[in-house]
Amino acid sequence: MAIIKRIASNSSLKGIINYVKDIEKTSDKILSGKDCTPTNALNKMICTKKVWGKTNKRQYHHIIQSFLP
């Protein structure tokens, strides 16, 4: 059975991007995104937050999906 968690955070976007891209935690072959790549995700997130005036308070929701082997 899959487990899905959603965590709201006020931590930095750069910190979570580095965490998610850490090869010890995540395989390159399962990193993906909507309208972005792992290399440009931080810039896209910052630009989107500026466009919508959401640069303070909650920075992101970290969604985690875990599956049995």
pLDDT by residue for the chain (69 residues), tens only, comes to 889 999 888 888 888 888 877 777 766 666 777 788 778 888 988 999 999 998 888 888 888 888 887
pLDDT of residue 51: 95
What single DSSP character describes residue 28? G
> Which pair of tokens denotes residue 64?
């985690």
pLDDT of residue 4: 94
pLDDT of residue 27: 67
pLDDT of residue 29: 64
Cα gap 42→59, rounded to integer Å: 12
pTM for the model stands at 0.64
62 near 16, Cβ under 8 Å?
yes
Cα gap 18→56, rounded to integer Å: 20
